[in-house]
C-alpha cells in the first residue's frame, strides 16, 4: 500500500510552486500541513488503484486481493465511483503495456531519488524521495503514470514538473540496469473524475536539460541565503502561507490606474486587462476570510472583524419518535416525507459509473452547457451560438 508518511521539503507535487517561487520553501518552513476530506479520499483511491494494478500486473492471489479490497471499501472515505475511476487507471496501464512488443518491467508506488535533482537529503543522508504511482520500462522507453483522484482543476502531463521530477528520479534509479538505453520519456496523468487521460512525451536529453537548467537551480536558490522575493501566480493556490503572503496580497490588490483623461468607458481591451489583473482575487479573498475566522476562533484579534454564531439550524431529536407523535396528532404521513427524484449525477455517484451506464442506457439526455467566460488558453473550443442553435439535444 502507498506509504505517504515521508514528504520531501521540495516535493515533486509542489515543484510547480517552488520552481516559480523558491522563496516559498523557507517562508513556509514549520507551517503544519493540514489534511482534508478530499486528500484522505485521494489517498484511499490511490490504495485501491495500487491494489488493482498489483493484481493485474504482479503476483497477488485472489483471496488476498478480495480481503484487501473489502477492507479499503469499508473505509469512511470510500465512494462507489472510486471503483470505476481506479478501473480506468488500470486499463490505461494495460494500454501502455500493450504498446510494447514484449512485457515491460513494471514498478508500482515506487520511491525514486528526487533529491539528486532537488539538492535535498533525508535525515539519514540519503537523497530525498518521491513516490511514482507506476513506472513501466521497455524498448528504450520509460513511462511514468500518475493517478489523480481530484475533480477540481484538470492537470495536464505536458511540461508537468511533478511528473518530470519523478521521471528524472526513475532514470537515475534504473541507470545501473538500463544504462543509456532509455531515450524516450512518456508521462501520463489519469484523472478519471474529469474523464481525462493526459499524455506527453519528451526525449531523455530534453528532460535532463530541464533538470539541469530549471529544477536544480530553483532548488538551490530555495535553500540559499537569498531565495529572492516571493513571486505570486496560480501556484499560490497550494502554498501553506497563501493566506498571509504579502506579495500575493499586493498582486491581487494592485489596480492599474486608468487615467482620468481617458474616455469614461473602458474599452474591450481594458476589460480583458482588468479581468486578467483580477484573476485570483476571489480565491484570495475567500482564503483570507477563512484565515481570519479561524484566527478569531483561536482568540486572536483581527482588526475590524469578529466571529459570530451563524444561522441556527433545527432538526428532529429522534426522527422515529417525532414522526410517530406527529401522526398521532393528525399530521398526515404524506406531509412528513418528501419524495424527490435522484439527479443523474447523484445516482451515478451512488451506484458507480459502470453500473449506472448499464442500467441507465437510453434514459439520459444531455442539454448544452451555459456559455462561460474562461482565459484564452483554455483547451475547450470557442462557444458557437449558431451551431448550438441548430444542434438537436442528445
Residues near ligand SF4 (CB under 6 A): 17, 21, 23-24, 27, 230-232, 235-236, 239, 241-242, 245, 247-248
Q: Measured from the CB atom, is 65 or 231 closer to ligand SF4?
A: 231
CB 354, min distance to ligand SF4, A: 40
User: Cβ closer to ligand SF4: 17 or 353?
Assistant: 17
Closest contact distance (angstroms) between CB of 285 and ligand SF4 is 14
Q: What is the 3-state secondary structure (H, E, C) of the chain?
A: CCCCCCCCCCCHHHHHHHHHCCHHHHHCCCCCCCCCHHHHHHHHHHHHHHHHHHHHHCCCCHHHHHHHHHHHHCCCCCCCHHHHHHHHHHHHHHHHHHCCCCCCEEEEEEEECCHHHHCCECCCCCECCEEEEEEEEECCEEEEEEECCCCCCCCCCCCCHHHHHHHHHHHHHCHHHHCCCCCEEEEEEEEHHHCEEEEEEEEHHHHHHHHHHHHHHHHHHHHCCCCCCCCCCHHHHHCCCCCCCHHHHHHHHCCCCCCCCCCCCCCHHHHHHHHHHHCCHHHHHHHHHHHHHHHHHCCCCECCECCCCCCCCCCCCCHHHHHHHHHHCCCCHHHHCCCCCCCHHHHHHHHCHHHHHHHHCCCCCCCCCCCCCCCCCCCCCCCCHHHHHHCCCC
CB-nearer residue toward ligand SF4: 221 or 354: 221
84 versus 280: smaller Cβ distance to ligand SF4: 280
Cell numbers of 336, please? 412528513
Instruction: Output 27 or 197, the one with its CB closest to ligand SF4.
Output: 27
Nearer to ligand SF4, 59 or 254 (CB): 254
Whose Cβ is closer to ligand SF4: residue 121's or residue 244's? 244
CB of 231 to ligand SF4, least distance (A): 6
Minimum CB distance to ligand SF4, residue 237 (Å) = 9
How many Å apart are CA 60 and CA 53, to the nearest integer? 10
State how far the Cα of 43 lies from the Cα of 3, in Å rounded to an integer. 10
- Nearest approach, Cβ of 40 to ligand SF4 (angstroms)? 24
Q: Interhelix angle for 353-360 vs 344-351, to 10°? A: 120
Q: How far is the CB of 12 from ligand SF4 (least distance, A)?
A: 16
Nearest approach, Cβ of residue 228 and ligand SF4 (Å): 10
Q: Residue 141 or 245: which CB sits closer to ligand SF4?
A: 245
Instruction: Provide, rounded to whole angstroms, the least separation between the CB of residue 373 and ligand SF4.
Output: 24
Nearest approach in angstroms of CB 293 to ligand SF4 is 19
Nearer to ligand SF4, 184 or 295 (CB): 295
Amino acid at each position: 500500500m502507498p506509504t505517504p508518511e515521508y514528504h520531501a521539503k521540495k516535493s515533486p507535487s509542489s515543484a510547480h510552486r517552488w520552481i516559480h517561487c523558491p522563496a516559498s520553501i523557507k517562508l513556509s518552513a514549520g507551517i503544519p500541513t493540514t489534511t482534508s476530506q478530499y486528500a484522505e479520499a485521494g489517498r484511499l483511491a490511490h490504495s485501491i488503484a495500487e491494489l488493482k494494478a498489483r493484481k493485474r500486473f504482479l503476483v497477488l492471489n485472489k483471496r488476498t486481493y478480495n480481503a484487501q479490497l473489502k477492507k479499503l471499501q469499508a473505509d469512511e472515505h470510500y465512494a462507489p465511483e472510486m471503483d470505476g475511476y481506479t478501473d480506468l487507471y488500470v486499463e490505461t496501464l494495460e494500454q501502455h503495456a500493450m504498446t510494447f512488443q514484449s512485457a515491460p518491467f513494471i514498478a508500482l508506488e515506487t520511491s525514486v531519488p528526487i533529491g539528486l535533482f532537488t539538492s535535498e537529503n533525508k535525515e539519514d543522508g540519503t537523497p530525498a524521495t518521491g513516490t511514482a504511482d507506476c513506472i513501466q520500462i521497455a524498448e528504450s522507453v520509460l513511462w511514468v503514470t500518475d493517478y489523480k483522484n481530484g475533480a477540481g482543476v484538470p492537470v495536464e502531463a505536458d511540461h508537468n514538473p511533478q511528473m518530470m521530477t519523478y521521471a528524472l528520479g526513475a532514470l537515475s534509479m534504473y541507470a545501473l540496469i538500463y544504462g543509456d538505453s532509455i531515450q524516450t520519456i512518456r508521462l501520463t496523468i489519469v484523472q478519471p473524475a474529469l474523464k481525462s487521460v493526459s499524455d506527453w512525451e519528451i526525449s531523455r536529453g530534453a528532460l535532463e536539460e530541464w533538470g539541469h537548467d530549471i529544477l536544480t537551480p530553483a532548488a538551490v536558490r530555495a535553500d540559499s541565503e537569498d531565495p529572492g522575493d516571493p513571486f505570486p501566480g496560480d501556484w499560490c493556490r497550494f502554498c501553506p502561507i497563501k493566506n498571509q503572503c504579502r506579495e500575493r496580497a499586493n498582486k491581487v490588490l494592485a489596480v492599474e490606474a486608468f487615467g482620468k483623461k481617458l474616455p469614461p468607458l473602458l474599452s474591450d481591451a481594458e476589460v480583458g486587462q482588468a479581468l486578467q489583473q483580477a484573476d485570483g482575487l476571489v480565491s484570495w479573498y475567500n482564503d483570507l476570510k477563512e484565515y481570519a475566522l479561524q484566527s478569531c476562533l483561536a482568540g486572536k484579534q483581527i482588526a475590524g472583524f469578529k466571529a459570530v454564531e451563524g444561522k441556527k439550524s433545527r432538526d428532529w431529536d429522534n426522527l422515529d419518535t417525532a414522526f410517530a407523535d406527529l401522526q398521532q396528532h393528525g399530521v398526515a404521513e404524506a406531509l412528513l416525507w418528501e419524495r424527490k427524484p435522484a439527479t443523474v449525477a447523484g445516482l451515478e455517484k451512488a451506484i458507480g459509473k459502470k453500473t449506472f451506464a448499464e442500467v441507465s442506457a437510453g434514459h439520459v439526455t444531455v442539454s448544452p452547457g451555459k456559455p462561460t467566460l474562461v482565459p484564452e488558453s483554455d483547451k475547450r473550443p470557442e462557444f458557437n451560438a449558431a451551431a448550438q442553435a441548430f444542434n438537436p439535444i442528445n
